[in-house]
Structure 1
């Protein structure tokens, strides 16, 4: 028991150290950018120039806020003591979260669809973390799928497993990049999106906490000449605790 306690304490300390190191490293650039834009706004001679600087200041602050939120989420997902799993319907969570993204998809002229299972797909899960997993996958798809593209969120149950898929008609991920994109802050060379490079790292961390597997494949469609991407997360289905089975 004492060894288990020490192991948990050690894991918590290591997670905190990683968070502090990541935050210090990643926030330097956006904070420096915010200061630069603020200084430009103070020096701008005309109202038009000041408005331009202030707009860039707002955009920079939004990016910094998103980065901080993702760092906090990653730290939470890494903390073993913060993960409580319960009987959870991944079908309902995926539908609810997908609907939140519909307005943004419409503004991008992107077809965002949902294909759910006919019955609940229950897993041992943390509802908040599962919602964030899905949000990061959809956000990633929207960032990299060209306007007018297609994205589908799908939930199904097969072979004793719960399966969550997010497919898009975007540029795809090359086979030799498919493992590296799960690394923190890694971004594929030539990427023009303003993402933080944390989305898929969060997805993997949450996946591992649920004893699930995540894999990336191509998803060619008739809607696009691009290779597309399919990200699939496979969960073990819910099993009652042993004491419940005995009773």
Structure 2
């Protein structure tokens, strides 16, 4: 068995219906795991034909993670949980995050729900000596023009990884994360589909390309695997050199 063989393992990917989370979910499934995802739409079929979304072979539950009560009430897909991936996230443009409503919405999804989801499955993870992988962003380490809530929430997620990693290590739960740079998903189309912004962004990335969900999935697999058995509380920057 290779270190990235997850045959017989149970994996839940919150925010696994599209983008980075979906890439991660399918990567675990391809390596033998039983994978369930939480998303925002009423049913898996509502993602048919959506770019960056492939729910083939995945279990699905609609959960509004901006609501702590919805997280608490959501059925656990597994009695024992080996890997919990927290890939939920949103961003609001045109200075919406400077308003109270915009700030609250982004913070509720990007940082509050990270803690609430992790706590929801703490017992199931402890039973399996499992892993948590939090998807944050390089925005957690830098200023982001026009997006105060996005930047603050991602910094909060990085801090949560440290604190939960320390708190849950005695239970055998490892908590780590990674911080993507510019990944070609629906959330980044404001940059990737605007010619001038696209060229300006690419000029700042030493590796010369945007990241792909598959690039991110490889890091998630590593962090959840025995290869990272002595790593906890860490957030890896995965940005093609953008923040160098």
Does the alignment reach a TM-score above 0.5? Answer: no
Structure with greater helix percent? 1
| TM-score range for the pair, normalised by the shorter chain length | under 0.3
> Which structure has the larger Rg?
1
TM-score (norm 1): 0.24
TM-score (norm 2): 0.24
